[in-house]
C-alpha cells in the first residue's frame, strides 16, 4: 500500500533535489524524510533515487513513481477540500441548449450531484436565443449554449464546426432552392446557416421548422430535407449529402457558459465545474 505520507516526502525531495530542504519545507527531521523514502522504495521494490554524499538524482522508476504520486496527492487535496468545507445547499437554475443536453450534460450533472447532493437542480432546455432571454430576465442563473452572433459575453468552452446532414444517399441539387430543416427563431444555428447561404448566393426553402434539434433530426431522417448539426454530435441514420462539397462550408460555432451578474455559491460552483470539464469529449447524440 502506498502511504500518502511517504509519497508526499518523496515528491518534495524530488522537487527540491535535497533531503535537507524537503525536511525544512515539510516541517520534519531529515531522518524522518529519509525513512519515508526508504520505506516507499522497500514497498515498491525499486530504487527511486541515486544518491551519495555529494549528489542526488531521480531514477527512471522514480520518475514513474513521481507521476503517480502527483496524481494521488492532487486527488487527496481535492477530496480534503470538498469534505473540509461546509456542504453546499440551495438551488441552481441551469439552462442548456438541447444539443448540449444530448451531449455531455448528463455526465456534468452527475459529477455535480455526487459532489453536492444537497443542491437542488432546476434545468431548462431550450434554444440558445431563448436562454439569453431567460438569463436577462433573471429566470435562470446560468446556461450552456452557443454564443450569439456579435455577442462577446460568456466564458468560451469550445468551438465546433457545423455540417450538413441528410438521409443516406441524398444528392442535393444546388441549382434548386435547398430544402432546409431548421430550428425556430431565436436560434444561433439558424442564423449561422442562413448567413452562410446568403453570403454564398444560394437559394433556400425552409420545409420544416422545429422547436428543437431533436425535431430537426427526426425530420431529416424522414427525408424532408437537409439540416445542420455540430460535427462532434453523431446522429444515427444521417450523413452529409453525397455532394456536400458543392454546398457552402458552414462556419464554427462557439459554445459558452453564460452566468448572471450575481451567482449564488452553488451556481458559481457549477459554473466552475462546467469550465473545468472536457465538454468537447466524445459526444454521441441520439
The Cα–Cα gap between 26 and 3 comes to: 16
Instruction: For the chain, 286 residues long, give each residue's pLDDT as a single digit of tens.
Output: 789 899 999 999 999 888 989 888 888 899 999 999 999 999 999 999 998 777 899 999 999 999 999 999 888 887 777 666 667 889 999 999 887 887 778 888 888 888 889 999 999 998 888 888 999 999 999 999 888 666 777 888 878 888 999 999 999 998 999 999 998 887 888 988 999 999 999 999 999 999 888 889 899 999 999 999 887 666 678 999 999 999 999 988 888 898 988 889 999 999 988 887 766 544 433 3
Supply the pLDDT for residue 284: 37
CATH of the structural domain 4-84, one choice from 3.30.530.20, 3.30.70.580, 3.40.190.290, 1.10.10.10: 1.10.10.10
Per CATH, 4-84 and 90-157+254-276 having the same topology is answered no
The Cα–Cα gap between 183 and 228 comes to: 10
Nearest Cα residue to 204 out of 212, 214, 193, 216: 193
Supply the pLDDT for residue 153: 79
Supply the pLDDT for residue 85: 62
Sorted by where each begins, the domain ranges of the chain are: 4-84, 90-157+254-276, 160-251
Nearest Cα residue to 228 out of 283, 242, 244: 244
DSSP structural state of residue 245: G
Supply the pLDDT for residue 286: 38
Supply the pLDDT for residue 234: 61
Supply the pLDDT for residue 182: 94
CATH code for the part of the protein at 90-157+254-276: 3.40.190.10
Buried b / exposed e across 47-86, counting CB within 10 Å, b at 16+?
Answer: ebbeeeeeeeebeeebeebbeebeeebeeeeeeeeeeeee
Q: What's domain 160-251's superfamily in CATH?
A: Periplasmic binding protein-like II (3.40.190.10)
Sign of torsion over alpha carbons 18, 22, 25, 28: negative
DSSP structural state of residue 224: S
Supply the pLDDT for residue 285: 38
Amino acid at each position: 500500500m502506498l502511504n500518502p505520507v511517504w509519497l508526499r516526502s518523496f515528491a518534495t525531495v524530488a522537487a527540491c533535489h535535497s533531503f535537507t530542504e524537503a525536511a525544512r519545507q515539510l516541517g520534519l527531521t531529515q531522518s524522518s524524510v529519509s525513512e519515508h523514502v526508504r520505506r516507499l522504495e522497500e514497498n515498491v521494490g525499486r530504487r527511486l533515487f541515486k544518491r551519495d554524499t555529494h549528489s542526488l538524482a531521480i531514477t527512471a522508476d522514480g520518475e514513474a513513481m513521481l507521476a503517480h504520486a502527483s496524481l494521488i496527492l492532487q486527488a487527496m487535496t481535492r477530496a480534503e477540500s470538498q469534505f473540509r468545507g461546509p456542504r453546499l445547499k440551495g438551488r441552481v437554475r441551469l439552462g442548456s441548449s438541447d444539443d448540449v443536453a444530448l451531449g455531455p450534460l448528463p455526465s456534468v450533472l452527475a459529477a455535480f450531484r455526487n459532489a453536492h447532493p444537497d443542491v437542488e437542480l432546476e434545468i431548462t432546455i431550450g434554444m440558445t436565443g431563448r436562454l439569453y432571454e431567460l438569463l436577462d430576465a433573471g429566470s435562470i442563473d446560468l446556461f450552456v449554449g452557443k454564443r450569439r452572433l456579435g455577442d462577446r459575453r460568456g466564458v468560451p468552452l469550445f468551438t465546433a464546426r457545423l455540417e450538413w446532414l441528410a438521409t443516406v444517399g441524398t444528392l442535393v441539387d444546388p441549382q434548386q432552392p435547398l430544402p432546409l430543416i431548421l430550428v425556430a427563431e431565436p436560434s444561433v444555428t439558424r442564423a449561422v446557416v442562413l448567413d452562410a447561404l446568403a453570403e454564398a448566393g444560394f437559394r433556400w426553402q425552409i420545409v420544416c421548422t422545429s422547436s428543437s434539434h431533436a425535431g430537426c433530426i427526426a425530420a431529416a431522417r424522414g427525408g424532408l430535407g437537409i439540416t445542420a448539426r455540430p460535427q462532434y454530435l453523431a446522429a444515427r441514420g444521417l450523413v452529409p449529402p453525397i455532394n456536400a462539397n458543392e454546398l457552402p462550408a458552414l462556419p464554427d460555432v462557439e459554445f459558452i457558459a453564460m452566468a448572471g451578474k450575481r451567482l449564488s455559491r452553488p451556481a458559481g460552483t457549477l459554473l466552475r465545474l462546467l469550465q473545468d470539464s472536457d465538454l468537447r469529449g466524445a459526444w454521441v447524440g441520439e
